[in-house]
RNA sequence: GGCCCCGUCGUCUAGCGGCCUAGGACUCUGGCUUCUCAAGUCAGCUACGAGGGUUCGAAUCCCUUCGGGGCUACCA
């Protein structure tokens, strides 16, 4: 199929979700590739909402989709909130356009009214299944006489508009899969407009892609088999073949059990990852590696690098499984790469939500000193509150599961020694704290470091897992550190 | 069932006829480091679904087969 003329057209890519729920991992991977392709080619990224199924799409989900894309940094050039010369970008606001084309198709003979009822259609399908033949509309209403139509109308039946698929086949070149052909024997006449007059996806998507001058359609693999239907609509609209968009069907993102990702086999909503303390750039970096790779054993890519490196040619044709462990690893890498300022800014909302801090100047000052010692210790931002809580609590208590570890006589004795000797520390900083404790507990008492410091750690931080002990004590301050040790004795 | 897509370590991938006794990353196992947890570091485990071709030579090309997935709506 010739399409060389497209090279001269400016690239226009769209991400067109149907927000029937929170945007999920698969949607976002598609959005990311759409965005990266547009940016890589210097083209236009269009964000369009496919809300023709008004029963399932809500304003709330639409807003959530907008927020999610923004949060991820996938900025669009045309679409909701920013507008554009081919708007509106909500299909529910474009109904007149679909109605126009549906009427035109009827008039030109590309489409026809179908009066079959849902029950009748189901009966046909059932029979086809039994007879083991290709399922699909049987063409019952393709050429009704005016008498037949009159009878249906008199009967009170409301027709749908159905597209007439001609004999033959449709072949197109998928940018990822190569040449794909569908025999029209397996592409039944499909519905364009419901009996209530509302348009279906198949009509709206094709009309909009043409009207918005979309040049490249990068979308999920589940839409592959609907492509010949869209092409049929282009043809009916009278669009020259050279102006058809180019298609690229992206492989699925699968869940752990090798089924299409869903709530059953892992959390899929991006909002969930956001709350769990994942960085948007980590999510994008990880998702970019699902079905694509920059090659050369490279894995760490920034958003900017992604736009520089991304090409559809390097997109895989096989599905990828989502691996939370790898996402966590990348998230940890991205966190470690944050500047201290960024790390503070990203951590603060989580600390506030967990009620660890309120955001006062004193708290911020302490955080600026505390955050660097935990930055390499967390894989997600959500882990931070628990790690720093001991620095901010007013009513300190040792964790229940750690308490027994310092309740024995040996521990009490050790803590008493630590308490006594720590009194003499002139300058309260981690170096002198460490020096004093090493001398008293390791050298003089002959204890093993991990035993001795573990007890002090539990007494001071309340847990057997904490940031580095001496730094923690320095930040906590002499008074609190000593009183906590004292109360454990 | 029919049509279509897909098939390299457990997972994500590199590979596009000789550079492959198949490389990297995550996970896992073991070691080092070490005040805990991490981080870092070293090593190890483990793959071309199977069977036929084509070729001097195949993970790479072709066929068959098996396996996985999608579609099969007045959903998208």
Q: Would residue A389 show up in a list of annotated catalytic residues for this protein?
A: no
Last residue of a domain, one of A375, A394, A413: A394
Closest residue to B74 (CA, C1′): A194
Give, in Å, how far the C1' of B26 lies from the CA of A183.
42
Tell me whether the omega of the peptide bond preceding residue A101 falls within 30 degrees of 0, making it cis.
no
Question: Last residue of some domain: A292, A313, A337?
Answer: A337
Nucleotide nearest to A318 (CA to C1'): B6
For residue A87, is it within any domain?
no
The active-site residue, picked from A70, A158, A263, A368, is A263
- pLDDT for the residue numbered A3: 44
The nucleotides of chain B lying under 7 Å from a protein CB are: 1-8, 10-16, 23-27, 34-40, 68-76
Length of chain A: 489
Residue at minimal CA–C1' distance from B24?
A: A297
Are residues A324 and A295 part of one domain?
Answer: yes
Q: Are residues A433 and A473 in the same domain?
A: yes
Residues of chain A with pLDDT under 50: 1-6, 265
Nucleotide B36 C1' to residue A450 CA (A): 8
Q: Which nucleotide has the shortest C1'-to-CA distance from A56? A: B75
Instruction: Assess whether A191 (CB) lies less than 7 A from strand B.
Output: yes
Mark whether A73 and A30 lie in a shared domain.
yes
For residue A162, being part of any structural domain is answered with no
Alpha carbon distances (Å) from A332 to A242, A286, A464: 47, 12, 22
Whether residues A379 and A329 fall in one domain = no
Tokens read off for A390: 């001991």
Please give the Cα distance from A241 to A263 (Å, whole number): 40
Phi, psi of A164 (to 5 degrees): -90, 115
- What is the structure's pLDDT at A316? 93
**Is there a domain that residue A193 lies in?**
no
Domain count for chain A: 3
Q: Is residue A127 domain-resident? A: no
Three-class DSSP category at A178: strand
To the nearest 10 degrees (0 to 180), the angle between helices A25-41 and A59-72 is 50
- Nucleic acid strand B within 7 Å of A460 CB: no
Give domain status of residue A201, yes or no. Answer: no
- List the single protein residue with the shortest CA to C1' distance from B40: A376
Nearest-nucleotide field for A122 (CA, C1'): B73
Whether nucleic acid strand B comes within 7 Å of the CB of A135, the answer is yes
Q: Same domain, yes or no, for A378 and A327? A: no
From the CA of A87, how many Å to the C1' of B43?
60
> Does residue A22 fall inside a structural domain?
yes
- Same domain for A316 and A346, yes or no, is no
Sign of the alpha-carbon dihedral angle for A261, A262, A267, A269: positive
CB of A266 within 7 Å of some strand B atom: no
Query: What's the CA gap between A234 and A1, in Å, rounded?
Result: 15
Q: Which residues of A195-215 are buried (b: 16+ CB within 10 A; e: fewer)?
A: beebbbbbbbbbbbbbebebb
At A191-237, the pLDDT tens digits run: 999 999 999 999 999 999 999 999 999 999 999 999 999 999 999 99
The pLDDT assigned to A345 comes to: 97
Give the CATH number of the domain where residue A413 resides.
1.10.10.350
Of the candidates A456, A445, A439, A448, the residue with the CA atom closest to the CA atom of residue A390: A456
The reply to whether A370 Cβ lies less than 7 angstroms from strand B is: no
> What ipTM was assigned to the predicted interfaces of this complex?
0.94
Which residues sit opposite A182 in a β-bridge?
Answer: A170
Domain at A70, CATH number:
3.40.50.620
Output the pLDDT for position A257: 64
Angle between helices A430-437 and A449-461 (to 10 degrees): 130
pLDDT at A2: 39
Residue A178 lies in a domain: no
- Closest nucleotide (CA of A191 to C1')? B74
> Is A287 in the same domain as A353?
no
Range of the domain at A365: 338-394
For residues A288 and A344, membership in a common domain is answered with no
Residue pair A184/A168 in contact (Cβ under 8 Å)? The answer is yes
Answer whether any strand B atom is within 7 A of the Cβ of A122: no
Distance, CA of A67 to C1' of B43, in Å: 46
Domain shared by A29 and A56, yes or no: yes
Among A293, A310, A337, the domain boundary falls at A337
Tell me: do A390 and A414 sit in the same domain.
no
- pLDDT at position A229 is 96
Nearest nucleotide to A204 (CA to C1') is: B76
Please tell me the predicted confidence (pLDDT) of residue A258: 60
Residue A287 is predicted with a pLDDT of 96
Is residue A182 domain-resident? no
């Amino acid at each position: 199929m010739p399409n060389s003329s497209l090279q001269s057209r400016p690239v226009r890519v769209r991400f067109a979700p149907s927000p029937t729920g929170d945007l999920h991992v698969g949607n976002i991977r598609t959005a990311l590739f759409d965005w990266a392709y547009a940016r890589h080619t210097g083209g236009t990224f269009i964000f369009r909402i496919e809300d023709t199924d008004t029963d399932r799409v809500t304003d709330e989900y639409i807003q959530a989709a907008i927020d999610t894309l923004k949060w991820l940094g996938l900025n669009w050039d045309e679409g909701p909130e920013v507008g554009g010369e081919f708007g509106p970008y909500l299909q529910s606001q474009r109904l007149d356009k679909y109605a126009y084309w549906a009427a035109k198709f009827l008039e030109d003979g590309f489409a026809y009214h179908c009066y079959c009822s849902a029950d009748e259609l189901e009966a046909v399908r059932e029979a086809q299944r039994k007879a083991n033949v290709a399922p699909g509309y049987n063409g019952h209403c393709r050429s009704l006489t005016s008498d037949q139509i009159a009878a249906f109308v008199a009967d009170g039946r409301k027709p749908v508009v159905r597209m007439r698929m001609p004999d033959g086949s449709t072949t197109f070149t998928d940018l990822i899969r190569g040449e794909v052909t569908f025999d029209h024997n397996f592409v039944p006449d499909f519905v364009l407009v419901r009996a209530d007059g509302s348009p279906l996806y198949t009509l709206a998507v094709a009309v909009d892609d043409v009207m918005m001058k979309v040049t490249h359609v990068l979308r999920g693999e589940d839409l592959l088999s609907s492509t010949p239907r869209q092409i049929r609509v282009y043809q009916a609209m009278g669009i020259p073949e050279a102006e058809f968009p180019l298609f690229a069907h992206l492989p699925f993102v699968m869940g752990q059990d090798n089924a299409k990702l869903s709530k059953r086999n892992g959390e899929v909503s991006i909002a969930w990852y956001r709350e769990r303390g994942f960085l948007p750039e980590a999510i994008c970096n990880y998702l970019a590696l699902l079905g694509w790779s920059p090659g050369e054993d490279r894995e760490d890519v920034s958003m900017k690098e992604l736009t520089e490196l991304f090409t559809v040619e390097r997109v895989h044709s096989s599905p990828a499984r989502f691996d939370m462990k790898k996402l966590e690893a990348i998230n940890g890498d991205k966190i470690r790469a944050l500047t201290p300022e960024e790390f503070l800014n990203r951590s603060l909302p989580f600390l506030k939500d967990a009620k660890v801090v309120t955001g006062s100047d004193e708290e911020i000052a302490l955080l600026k000193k505390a955050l660097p010692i935990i930055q390499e210790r967390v894989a997600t931002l959500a882990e931070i509150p628990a790690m720093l809580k001991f620095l901010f609590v007013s009513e300190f208590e040792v964790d229940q599961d750690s308490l027994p570890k310092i309740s024995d006589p040996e521990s009490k004795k050790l803590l008493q020694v630590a308490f006594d000797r720590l009194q003499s520390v002139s300058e309260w900083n981690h170096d002198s704290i460490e020096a004093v404790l090493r001398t008293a507990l390791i050298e003089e008492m002959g204890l093993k470091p991990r035993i001795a410091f573990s007890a002090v750690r539990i007494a001071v931080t309340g847990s057997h897992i904490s940031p580095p002990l001496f730094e923690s004590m320095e930040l906590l301050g002499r008074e609190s550190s000593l009183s906590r040790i004292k109360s454990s004795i």
